[in-house]
Amino acid sequence: MSEDHQHARLSPSASERWISCPASVLEIEALPPGDDEGDWYAQEGTIAHALAEIRGRVHFGHITKEQGKRELNKWRKDNGVDAHMENEMWGHVDTWLKVLQTFYDEHPGTQIFFEQRLDTGVPSSWGTTDAALVSPKHIYVVDFKYGAGVQVDAEENSQTRLYGLGILDEYDILGTVEEVTLVIVQPRIENSIGDPHISMETLTTQEILAWREEIIPIAKVALLPDAPYGPSAKACRWCPLSGKCRAQIESIFDDTPVDFESDPAVLTPEETAELLEVIPRIKDWVNSFEATALHRAYDLDQKIPGWKVVMSGGRRTCNDEAAVLDTLKEKGFKLDDITTRKIVGIGVLEGLLGKKGFTETLGVFYPKSKGKPSLVPDTDNRPALNRESEAASIFGEEVQADDLL
């Protein structure tokens, strides 16, 4: 297999892992076939990115609408996407396109590129960026993140920085580019005021080139047999070794407070704070560990002493709704007696109406619930809450409601 068609050993998308934990590269390569399964949500993201590329190329005139329709029909046939999922994706792709259009209009002479295969200038590291906008003095790299579970930020994001380096090397032929702006568009995650999550980092050309010089030695070490481990919350999150890596579990529990200066039966607030820092990593590890154990025992048929795989209780699902309806109608049942109607989800409605159209047309019917108290780090930008302030807020709302009577 040629280098163009195989995955990079040090791919930009996995850079957060191999920069933090160089040893993971060779360890993952040594896994037996079928034991390196990673992200179960990757397929959904791949479909959304394919749709974004087609829509983007039509929008910016790279292909005609007719060509786009042909590609879209082939994409639908190849991926079997249901209408509800596609409608939701369209709305999120539109958000991404609006960001691209804003940047495109900002600098004269801008050219836009989609799905560019790039060499980052770091050994064994290449990848494909979603979109890049290049003008004589400025470069934008815009990464479309479809995931809704984990917020991704552009600040110090190694993946987008590596893409930025690839675009810089490829298109800054005259050496006139002064700044590179790295952008994450994650439309399925909203900020505190309900807008899609958009994060940016701007570096001068000198800054991003200097950063590459810092990364190159790490990349070279990652390809050596004695590369060091460096488990961390971010590095382990999507690592195929998560749940089976000894360095991971040792790191997690080394960070757990075990020496108590006060009464060992009662944790101090300081000890509680330390544990709160570690608990997310413990939760991630437990989930990965359980999934890995099942994968080993069932998929790989590895014997785990004292444990066995059994089939949990199944549930009945209908495999032919049309036949069921016909059968019941033949028995004299009315349609209203045997069916229910349910409005599609907010994501689908926003895809149909657009976010602004949804708010104007249906927003009054979809009030946002108050939520519930959550304990978060001090670095969170939301205002702090306590029982007294919450009670005052509730009381104030009640007074305002009474005033309307």
Q: What is the DSSP letter of 243?
A: T
3-class state of residue 73 by DSSP: helix
**Angle 374-150-183 (CA atoms, 0-180°, nearest 5)?**
120
Cα→Cα distances 34→64, 225, 237, 303, Å:
41, 22, 19, 17
- Domain 12-222 is found in CATH 2.60.40: no
Q: Which two tokens stand for residue 136?
A: 């004589």
Q: 166 with 126: CB under 8 angstroms?
A: yes
3-class state of residue 140 by DSSP: strand
Q: Give tens-digit pLDDT for 228-253.
A: 999 988 899 889 899 889 999 888 87
Q: Give tens-digit pLDDT for 286-315.
A: 888 888 888 888 888 888 899 888 887 778
Distance (Å, whole) CA 103 – CA 116: 18
Q: Give tens-digit pLDDT for 315-357.
A: 888 888 889 999 999 999 988 888 888 887 887 787 788 878 8
pLDDT at 35 over 70: no
Q: Which two tokens stand for residue 32?
A: 């037996």
Helix axes 269-294, 246-254, angle to 10 degrees: 160
pLDDT at 404: 31
Would you kindly state where each structural domain of the chain is located, as residue ranges?
12-222, 242-299, 324-364
User: Tokens 């409608």, residue?
Assistant: 87
Distance (Å, whole) CA 125 – CA 11: 5
In whole numbers, what is the pLDDT of the chain averaged over residues? Answer: 85
Mean pLDDT of 185-192: 87
Q: What is the pTM of this model?
A: 0.74
Amino acid making up residue 182: L
Q: 130 with 142: CB under 8 angstroms?
A: yes
Q: 215 with 19: CB under 8 angstroms?
A: yes
Q: 296 with 240: CB under 8 angstroms?
A: no
SS (H, E, C) 52-63: HHHHHHHHCCCC
SS3 percent helix, strand, coil of the chain, rounded to 5, is: 50, 10, 40
Pairing of strands 196-204, 111-119: unpaired
